[in-house]
């Protein structure tokens, strides 16, 4: 047996403790007598918690032989014993709880990096006892309770972190542990500030931060530990954010740091991991958005600013807490905005951009920074939506002095920020154009008709709600031409887009594309109608807003990266459509058929942009419709003349000659183009 469990160690204890310990050893645990009152031994649980703490913990170390015997797994009672409330059951459970408390106090005398073997051996005894106590605590009679649920849970989790150290992530896969961790988190959040032990907060933060994904079992346990529903999880996150914000407010008034603030920041930072794990349940971000006001998150960012820009590396706990809470706050807001853009609108009204700019005045040397992903995944793509055209431009203007400072300009994300500002201006201008204000124009999806007029004058296919027709005659004609078999695919694609975007946002993407089709890249947009003929004039246009480019920096002409793809270029098209890929764009085969049959009046444009917390590539395929085949016919005529002159069907010289000739072409006054 390990020397730590030698009964002779009891002789090192003061007499009043040694006497109680030896009396406890004499108790017949199988059949304790009425005279064996647990209250006679409860004093052992206070050692290390009061008075001379270091001495108390040393005394607990000498008591390990007692705890080793009390924690014998064969003594664990049954559920039937609990129901019967036998004296034996009550004494055993109280003695086990006392032992768990004592072992944890003794372990504090040792380094986490090198826990001694006795504690590893004790872990094998403590775990089955704690599993039984935790699973039955709510139904446990008072006669069996020696300590509160929170004291036992926090003590046990502290000890678990000590014993498992670097192997904690593996240990968390043990069935039952995840429920304890999230139950402890819920209890800690609900405790009054005056009752929160900072050491317990550190352990819970450490454990929470590991849960960036769940197994099925862990998910079930985490939900149960939080209260049983995603609504309960969201309430906990909201409470965590609110508590941190209140601590930051107190710090601003008192102008001094408290250890409670440090650990509150750490707990908020740690919450980012389970939030990311719960977000994999599609409904959670929507529930989170109902529980956590965007205005509150902006207040947290505002409160973090004086701490973040003046981080003292000597205070590692505070530095880590501030950085992680910044990350967590942005991450929570990102998930909420991904689910519903109304939260960005609310944040902008609360001074979000100014708070971000102020927060990033001294961050260039920090290791963790959420800004690049937030800018590229939220701010940049949201410039495609009309609702934010004015608010984003106003917010950027309000933060103008902050984003021009040398500190902000030195940040690693400054290029992404500058692109966002350009996109906010250029894309935003699309929504002030007369055509946007006059209402959406559309084209009849009967290719034989193709009439272009206000969308309100069309009827909608009752099957897919995607195709538009002048009337029943046009619908019947298109039905016969192929929509009969493609209708379900158009409905699937419409529903696929609706999972992420509203119909208004898809309309806004069309408006932005229409504005760019009349800008610096007008020639490429127009020539995409030349659907047949030489391979050097492809018919599919890929417009990537995640790759913003400059046409002429001198005149500030910018736009999405435009690529012309040949219809035969399967590899290039597959890449442009991924994700979700041609198989996910359910209408792709039908759209290619329609483009081929349109005689130069329909071109396919692929719109690509990053959106959301995961940096997911979004793909929207828009048919570009023309009122006539003038572009195709004129393009073929010019191409034939250039080829004849150059004496070759392709090559750089041919392409340059064609481009030069095409710039001189004037489109007929009645030539119209729309995105349908």
Residue-wise pLDDT tens digits, 102-151: 999 888 888 665 667 899 999 999 999 999 999 999 888 887 787 899 99
Helix axes 294-308, 342-349, angle to 10 degrees: 50
Distances (CA, A) of 580 to 325, 347, 510, 575: 33, 30, 20, 10
Distances (CA, A) of 564 to 318, 537, 633, 643, 662: 52, 8, 19, 20, 16
Question: In whole angstroms, what is the distance from residue 580 CA to residue 490 CA?
Answer: 15
Is 500 contained in some domain?
yes
Q: How many Cα atoms occupy the beta-carbon half-sphere of 352 within 13 Å?
A: 24
- The dihedral region occupied by 562, where left means phi > 0, alpha psi between -120 and 50, and beta the remainder, is beta
Q: Is 46 helix (H, G, I), strand (E, B) or coil?
A: helix
Cβ contact 286:279 at 8 Å: no
With vertex at residue 111, the alpha carbon angle to CA 110 and CA 112, rounded to the nearest 5 degrees, is 120
Residues of the chain with pLDDT under 50: 364, 532-538
Is 164 contained in some domain?
no
**In a shared domain, residues 507 and 391:** no
Which residues is 673 bridged to in the sheet?
626
Nearest to 482 by CA among 345, 574, 590: 590
Parallel, antiparallel or unpaired: strands 441-443 and 452-454: antiparallel
pLDDT of residue 535: 42
Domain end (from 430, 463, 489)? 430
Question: In whole angstroms, what is the distance from residue 132 CA to residue 314 CA?
Answer: 42
Is 162 contained in some domain?
no
Q: Which two tokens stand for residue 32?
A: 């304790």
Spell out a b/e string for 451-484, using b for 16 or more CB atoms within 10 Å of the CB, else e: bbeeeeebeebebbebbbbbeeebbebbbebebe
SS3 content of the chain, % helix, strand, coil (to 5): 65, 10, 30
Q: Which two tokens stand for residue 417?
A: 């920020």
Which residues is 549 bridged to in the sheet?
559
Is 448 contained in some domain?
no
Spell out a b/e string for 642-676, using b for 16 or more CB atoms within 10 Å of the CB, else e: bbeeeeeeeeeebeebbeebbeeeeeeeeebbbbb
pTM of the predicted protein model: 0.88
Question: In whole angstroms, what is the distance from residue 61 CA to residue 50 CA?
Answer: 16
**In a shared domain, residues 239 and 208:** yes
pLDDT of residue 226: 97
**In a shared domain, residues 544 and 666:** yes
Q: Which two tokens stand for residue 427?
A: 């894309």
**In a shared domain, residues 86 and 205:** no
Domain end (from 374, 402, 430)? 430
Nearest to 516 by CA among 470, 473, 549, 467: 549
Which residues is 459 bridged to in the sheet?
469
**In a shared domain, residues 139 and 76:** yes
Q: Which two tokens stand for residue 653?
A: 């010289």
Cβ contact 126:68 at 8 Å: no
**In a shared domain, residues 535 and 631:** yes
What is the tally of structural domains in the chain? Answer: 4
Domain end (from 130, 146, 162)? 146
Question: In whole angstroms, what is the distance from residue 400 CA to residue 476 CA?
Answer: 56
Size (the chain), residues: 676
**What phi and psi, each to the nearest 5 degrees, are found at residue 540?**
-115, 130
**In a shared domain, residues 325 and 373:** no
- Which range marks the domain in which residue 629 is found? 477-675
pLDDT of residue 511: 94
The DSSP annotation for 104-168 comes to HHHHTTS-TTS--HHHHHHHHHHHHHHHHHHHHGGG--GGG-SS-HHHHHHHHHHHHHHHHGGGH
Is 635 contained in some domain?
yes
Question: In whole angstroms, what is the distance from residue 319 CA to residue 531 CA?
Answer: 59
**In a shared domain, residues 578 and 529:** yes
Cβ contact 553:520 at 8 Å: no
**In a shared domain, residues 327 and 372:** no
Q: Is 443 helix (H, G, I), strand (E, B) or coil?
A: strand
From the CB of residue 233, how many other CB atoms can be counted at a distance below 10 Å?
A: 26
pLDDT of residue 654: 74
Is 161 contained in some domain?
no
Question: In whole angstroms, what is the distance from residue 406 CA to residue 408 CA?
Answer: 6
From the CB of residue 554, how many other CB atoms can be counted at a distance below 10 Å?
A: 7
H or E stretch covering 621: strand 616-626
**In a shared domain, residues 184 and 318:** yes
Distances (CA, A) of 504 to 88, 294, 462: 69, 22, 19
Question: In whole angstroms, what is the distance from residue 563 CA to residue 105 CA?
Answer: 66
Q: Is 454 helix (H, G, I), strand (E, B) or coil?
A: strand
Q: Which two tokens stand for residue 611?
A: 């959106």
Is 154 contained in some domain?
no
**In a shared domain, residues 583 and 636:** yes
Cβ contact 243:189 at 8 Å: yes
Q: Token match 């590229």: residue?
A: 376
Cα dihedral value 281, 282, 284, 287, nearest 10: -160
Is 160 contained in some domain?
no
Question: In whole angstroms, what is the distance from residue 480 CA to residue 417 CA?
Answer: 50
Q: Token match 């009122």: residue?
A: 627
**In a shared domain, residues 214 and 291:** yes
Q: Please, what is the end-to-end C-alpha distance for the chain in angstroms? A: 80
């Amino acid at each position: 047996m390990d020397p730590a469990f030698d009964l002779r160690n009891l002789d090192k204890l003061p007499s009043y403790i040694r006497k109680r310990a030896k009396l406890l050893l004499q108790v017949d645990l199988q059949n304790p007598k009425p005279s064996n009152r647990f209250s006679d031994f409860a004093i052992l649980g206070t050692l290390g918690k009061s008075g001379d703490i270091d001495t108390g913990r040393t005394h607990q170390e000498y008591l390990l032989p007692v705890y080793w015997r009390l924690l014998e797994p064969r003594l664990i009672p049954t559920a039937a014993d609990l129901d019967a409330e036998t004296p034996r059951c009550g004494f055993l459970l109280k003695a086990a709880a006392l032992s768990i408390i004592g072992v944890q106090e003794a372990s504090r005398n040792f380094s986490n990096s090198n826990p001694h073997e006795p504690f590893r051996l004790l872990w094998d005894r403590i775990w089955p006892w704690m599993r039984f106590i935790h699973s039955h605590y709510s139904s446990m009679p008072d006669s069996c309770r020696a300590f509160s649920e929170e004291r036992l849970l926090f003590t046990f989790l502290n000890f678990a972190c000590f014993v498992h150290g670097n192997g904690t992530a593996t240990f968390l896969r043990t069935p039952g542990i995840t429920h304890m961790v999230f139950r402890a988190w819920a209890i800690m959040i609900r405790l009054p500030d005056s009752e929160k032990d900072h050491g317990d907060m550190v352990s819970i933060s450490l454990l929470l931060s590991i849960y960036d994904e769940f197994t099925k079992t862990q998910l079930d346990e985490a939900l149960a530990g939080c209260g049983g529903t995603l609504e309960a999880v969201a309430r906990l996150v909201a409470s965590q954010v609110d508590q941190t914000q209140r601590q930051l407010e107190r710090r601003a008034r008192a102008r001094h740091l408290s250890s409670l603030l440090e650990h509150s920041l750490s707990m908020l930072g740690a919450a980012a991991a389970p939030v990311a794990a719960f977000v994999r349940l599609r409904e959670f971000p929507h529930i989170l958005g109902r529980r956590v006001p965007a205005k509150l998150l902006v207040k947290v960012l505002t409160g973090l600013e004086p701490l973040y820009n003046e981080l003292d590396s000597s205070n590692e706990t505070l530095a880590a807490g501030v950085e992680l809470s910044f990350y967590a706050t942005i991450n929570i807001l990102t998930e909420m905005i991904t689910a519903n853009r109304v939260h960005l609108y609310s944040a902008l009204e609360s001074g979000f951009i100014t708070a971000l700019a102020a927060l990033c005045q001294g961050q260039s040397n920090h290791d963790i920074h959420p800004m690049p992903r937030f800018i590229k995944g939220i701010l940049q793509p949201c410039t495609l939506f009309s609702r934010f055209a004015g608010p984003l431009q106003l917010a950027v203007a309000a933060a103008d002095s902050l984003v021009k400072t040398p500190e902000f300009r030195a940040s690693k994300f400054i290029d992404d920020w500058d692109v966002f500002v350009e996109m906010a201006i250029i894309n935003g201008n699309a929504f002030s154009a007369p055509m946007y204000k006059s209402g959406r124009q559309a084209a009849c999806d009967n290719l034989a008709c193709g009439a272009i007029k206000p969308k309100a004058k069309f009827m909608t296919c009752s099957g897919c709600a995607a195709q538009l027709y002048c009337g029943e005659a046009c619908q019947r004609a298109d039905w016969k031409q192929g929509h009969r078999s493609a209708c379900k695919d158009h409905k699937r694609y419409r529903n696929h887009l609706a999972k992420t975007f509203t119909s208004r946002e898809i309309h806004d993407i069309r408006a932005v594309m229409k504005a760019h089709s009349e800008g610096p890249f007008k020639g490429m947009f127009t020539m995409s109608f030349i659907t047949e003929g030489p391979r050097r004039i492809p018919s599919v246009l890929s417009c990537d807003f995640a790759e913003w480019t400059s046409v002429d920096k001198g005149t500030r002409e910018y736009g999405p990266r435009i690529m012309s793809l040949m219809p035969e270029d399967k590899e290039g098209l597959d890449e442009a459509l991924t994700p979700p890929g041609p198989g996910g764009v359910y209408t792709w085969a039908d759209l290619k058929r329609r483009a081929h049959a349109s005689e130069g009046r329909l071109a396919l444009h692929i719109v690509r942009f990053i959106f959301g917390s995961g940096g997911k590539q979004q793909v929207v395929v828009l048919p570009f419709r023309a009122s006539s085949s003038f572009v195709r016919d004129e393009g073929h005529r010019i191409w034939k003349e250039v080829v004849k002159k150059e004496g070759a069907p392709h090559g750089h010289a041919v392409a340059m000659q064609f481009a030069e000739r095409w710039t001189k072409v004037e489109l007929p006054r009645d030539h119209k183009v729309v995105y349908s």
